[in-house]
Structure 1
Amino acid sequence: MSADFWSGYLSGAAGILIGNPLDLVKTRLQAGQAISPSQAGEQPSRSFRGHFDRAGTLVKGATAPILGYGALNAILFVTYNHSLELFGETPASPENLLKIWTAGAFGGLATFVVSAPTELIKCRAQVSTGRASSWSIARDIWRTAGVRGLYYGGGITSVRDAVGYGFYFWSYQLSKQSLSSPDDTDKDTALKILFCGGLAGVVTWASIFPLDVIKTRVQTQVVGTAATGGERQILLPQPSSAKLSTFEIARNAYHTEGAQVFFRGLGICSIRAFVVNAVQWAVYEYMMLRLLRN
């Protein structure tokens, strides 16, 4: 396969391994106490440390992303680079920022096939307070709703990804163009890649965070609780008659918790985004350099 495929795959897997603990906190803060209309108020608020109730929590929900986001990143970068070529830009050094944003949006849309089910499984695993694994959640969704169930919340996920990845590549290339200098040493270049990658992650999440909050709440809707040793588990979607639409969830969140609900978890997400995307871009650029040389 192409160099950008493997570079994207490895960088995506590396980012998940580093960022999963903070992503878990972000997801639980977004889901809040409004996971189900019938359960509002049942979940006590948690401190930061309270989200890590045992060692296994650090990697809770990481299985699906590690497998899925490697493939997602591979699809993303391959589509982005090919789109740039169609627009007449050189993938290694594109210049037109509008074309960069558009190519990034195309890349984001292309990831839908992997992103939607991966996000669904990850979010439900992360908000579950039981011992349900990513595999058991995926199996239960498949048994009850089939392939369609795995793409629950796919509409808002695809919009989020298209907009987010447009800004992702746009902000990375803009900052890279602004900071690059002919006199840069290899060390200077590496540090700038880390900084530009981290900055791109923060800009991306800031641009789509309200959409991500809504997406998380759409995908973590449940009917009730499944008792396992007295623990509450979140596994299955609501029946069609009880589901809330994306618009209804957004409206209810605003009416009950105010506008600030759409930015709950942005601080922890920004920290995670900077670290994860700095590493992702560094791994991607390094792997591209090595693979293209061979």
Structure 2
Amino acid sequence: MSADFWAGYTSGAVGILIGNPLDLVKTRLQAGNAAPQTEPTGAVIGPARAAPQSFRQHFDRAGTLVKGTTAPLLGYGALNAILFMTYNRTLTFFNDSPELPTSLAKVWCAGAAGGLASFVVSAPTELIKCRAQVSTDHATSSWTIVRDVWKREGIRGLYYGGGITSIRDAYGYGWFFWTYEWSKQAVSSPTDTDRETAIKVLLCGGLAGVVTWASIFPLDVVKTRVQTQLINAPLYREGERETLLQHQAHGKRLSTLQVAQKAYQAEGAGVFFRGLGICSIRAFVVNAVQWAVYEWMMRLLRQT
């Protein structure tokens, strides 16, 4: 495999290990006021009566800190590898240099191409991660969710919500690479020391993460709610509050547009930005580290 593949894989895995606790909070906030309960087999059987209401309750036990980590740890390593490899190849195809691109428009298009290519991995990984994170059953793992989804729906079930995931990834990663290259070119100087270069990579990487998530957050909220809809969930008793994790009619799932409409009708425009604060903190830290690891790995592998 090429240097950018392994550099991307390593940086993606490191980012997940660092960012998973905050990502768990973000996913639970996005999912709404109820989280699905599951059997030990991973089968989703119904909504919890009350979702965690405080930051502390999101971490009700030590295992919660790494809940839903397995799938993204494996998946996002592969996702990052595909992302960076596709980005570099696309930029080269556009007759530009991945090391020092001259056209930010080409950078955005190459980033969007990388995001679209990574959908193959990101769609099932996101579905498994989100369902594991909103589950209140501590026995539920990524593997039990995969097994249950595969048994019920096959490979098609793992790509549920794939349409909005692909749009989110293509649009978001376009801005991800654009922001990183724009900010790096703006602050870099030929006289920078190694220490100054490393600090600027961290800052530019963190900024790229924040801009990316700010640009796609409403899409991500809808994606999370689409992917965490319940299967054969019983309706609440009369008088209890209806949530977006319930099926609305005849046990059928809502479409992406219906989920967005119901979210807006029930909770207003603010629902599309719920969790953005914690996500921005996570995005800065994770992407600063990811870009630093990627740049370091690329230099290391080019020397060997």
User: Is the pair's TM-score, using the shorter chain for normalization, greater than 0.5?
Assistant: yes
User: Which 5+ residue runs of structure 1 have no aligned equivalent?
Assistant: 226-235
Q: Give me the whole-angstrom Cα distance separating, in 1, the residues matched to 2:220 and 2:124.
A: 15
1:224 aligns with 2:233: yes
Asked if residue 288 in structure 1 is aligned to residue 295 in structure 2, the reply is: no
Q: 1:200 to 1:5 in 2, by over 3 A?
A: same
Deviation at 1:224, TM superposition (A): 2.6
The runs of 4+ residues in structure 1 deviating greater than 2 Å are 38-45, 236-241
CA drift at 1:97: 0.7
The aligned residue for residue 61 of structure 1 is 68
Residue 46 of structure 1: how far off its partner (Å): 1.2
Given candidates 170, 183, 190, the residue that maps to 1:162 is 170
1: CA distance, partners of 2:143 / 2:159: 16
- Name the structure 2 match of 1:14: 14
Name the counterpart of 2:265.
255
Does structure 1 residue 153 correspond to structure 2 residue 184? no
Map 1:72-221 to 2 at 5 A: 72-131=79-138, 132-221=140-229
CA RMSD for the aligned pairs?
2.0
**Does the Cα contact within 8 Å between 2:115 and 2:169 map onto a contact in 1?**
yes
Instruction: Answer whether contact 1:33 1:40 (CA < 8 A) is retained.
Output: no
Is the partner of 1:182 in helix, strand or coil?
Answer: coil
- In structure 2, what is the Cα distance between the partners aligned to 1:138 and 1:93? 41
Whether the 8 Å contact between 2:48 and 2:136 is mirrored in structure 1 is no
* Number of the residue aligned with 1:230: none
Structure 1's 61 and 254: CA in aligned 2 closer, same or farther, altered over 3 A? same
SS of 2:184's equivalent in the other structure is: helix
Deviation at 1:266, TM superposition (A): 0.2
Give the Cα separation in 2 of the matches to 1:213 and 1:253.
10
Sort the Cα spacing of 1:41 and 1:21 in 2 relative to 1 into closer, same or farther, 3 A: closer
Q: Deviations over 1:204-250 (max 9, x none)?
A: 0000000000000000000338xxxxxxxxxx997995110000000
Q: Do the aligned partners of 1:35 and 1:221 also contact (CA within 8 Å) in 2?
A: no
Give the counterpart letter for 1:128 in structure 2: S
CA contact (8 A) 2:78 2:121 kept: yes
TM-score, normalized by length of structure 2? 0.90
Contact 1:61-1:125 at 8 Å conserved across structures: yes
User: What is the TM-score when the length of structure 1 is the normalising length?
Assistant: 0.93
Aligned residue pairs total: 283
Are the structure 2 counterparts of residues 241 and 224 from structure 1 closer, same or farther at C-alpha, using a change threshold of 3 Å?
Answer: closer
Amino acid at match of 1:96: S
Corresponding position of 2:42: none
Matches of 2:185 and 2:196, distance apart in 1: 14
Q: Deviations over 1:107-127 (max 9, x none)?
A: 000001100000000000000
**CA contact under 8 A between 2:46 and 2:233: conserved in structure 1?**
yes
CA distance in 2, matches of 1:15, 1:166: 19
User: SS state of the match for residue 98, structure 1?
Assistant: helix
Q: CA deviation at 1:182?
A: 1.4
Superposed CA deviations along residues 143-202 of structure 1, whole A, max 9, x for unmatched, are 000000000000000000000000000000000010011110000000000000000000
Unpaired runs of 5+ residues, structure 2, are: 37-44, 235-244
User: Which residue identity lines up with residue 97 of structure 1 in the other structure?
Assistant: L
Match of 2:240 in 1: none
Q: Which moved more, 1:169-178 or 1:27-36?
A: 27-36
